[in-house]
Amino acid sequence: MLIRRPDDIAPSEITASDVYRRRREFVQAAGMLALGAAAGAFAGRSQAQQGVKFAGIAKSAFSTSEKPNTFKDIAGYNNFYEFGTDKDDPAAYAGRLRTRPWTVVVEGEVHKPRTFAIEELLKFPLEERIYRLRCVEAWSMVIPWIGFEFNRIARLVEPTSRAKFVEFHTAVQPETMPGVRLPVLEWPYVEGLRIDEAMHPLTILSVGLYDQVLPNQCGAPIRLVVPWKYGFKSGKSIVRIRFVEKQPRIAWEKAAPHEYGFYSNVNPNVDHPRWSQRREKRLPAFFANRETVIFNGYGEQVAKLYAGMDLKKFY
């Protein structure tokens, strides 16, 4: 993702590289927002949900038996560019994200478009799903999410026969997100799935982590989780879901089309143009300490979605 520019790549090819040069601007913007928060503009309301606990959450047969990372690992090392490009920026700045009131609009090619208040979504039957998360940057974690299958929403809005893909649009709050003042990516961060991928039982919307409401830096109040794809497919802080006919152009594909594709299935046989995907470091390890497995180890459940497709071409 945001990697310092190697000498052999022209600056024009890497949108993200000049962000490093704009770090000072980001820090200034973040500082100004902090003053606003201290003055009472956003404090309180934004943090009201942090740390709220869930009880009696059902366990899921889809969970891995691998040991989850600690809460500190999961909530302290994040990618959430709306709050900055360093791994500790989201934990430092996302506290101000306003997560109430929050609605998710579901629209497009559906018979029954609907706007859900977050309170309604929190009443869906929630489960714990312990999933591996593999970032395209070659680090990974094991995360005990709390959430529900996306297909529950889809069944309520009834997609039309023209709905072939689903777009996930995430929040843009310039008053709380210093990162959206910089052109790191095109905002809002939009992700997308083919409709059969979205309807797959492994695809969830997460509202919690361990026994708590999702920390803001992890995508509060609701984020997507697609465990067999690179982490960037999992859009954070979702506000709009659109069922569409055409394959959407996703945030990273727009930023660097030669590096990121729509499918983004975890695949050790398809290297990123600038690094190998063969191995990964399972945090908190410092060096790569394991082999990456195709579809992040979920091949038994999802490989059939791609039968007959050339995974090197549709990367």
Exposed (0-12), middle (13-18) or buried (19+): which is 24, by Cβ within 10 Å?
exposed
Among positions 49, 78, 216, 267, the unique one binding ligand MTE when judged by CB under 6 A: 78
192 contacts 166 by C-beta, under 8 angstroms: yes
Nearer to ligand MTE, 175 or 245 (CB): 175
How far apart are the C-alpha atoms of 295 and 298, rounded to whole Å? Answer: 5
Round to whole Å and give the CA distance between 236 and 79: 10
> Does 69 contact ligand MTE by CB under 6 A?
no
Least Å distance, CB 133 to ligand MTE, is 6
Q: Does 80 bind ligand MTE (CB under 6 A)?
A: yes
User: If phi over 0 gives left and psi between -120 and 50 gives alpha, with beta otherwise, what is residue 3?
Assistant: beta
Q: Which of 42, 189, 260, 262 contacts ligand MTE by CB under 6 A?
A: 189
State the binding string over 127-166 for ligand MTE (x if CB under 6 A, else -).
------x-x-------------------------------
Partners of residue 166 on adjacent β-strands:
193, 243
With beta carbons less than 8 A apart as the criterion, state whether 16 and 251 touch.
Answer: no
Q: How far apart are CA 231 and CA 68, in angstroms?
A: 16
Q: Considering the complex, what minimum distance in angstroms separates the CB of residue 107 from ligand MTE? A: 19
Place of tokens 């959407």: 248
Q: Which residue is nearest to ligand MTE (CB)?
A: 231
Residue 82 C-beta: closest distance to ligand MTE, Å:
6
- Residue type at 110 in one-letter notation: V
User: Per rule CB under 6 A, is residue 26 in the interface with ligand MTE?
Assistant: no
Does residue number 84 form part of the binding site for ligand MTE (CB under 6 A)?
A: no
List interacting residues with ligand MTE (CB under 6 A). Answer: 1, 78-82, 133, 135, 170, 189, 218, 231-232, 234-237
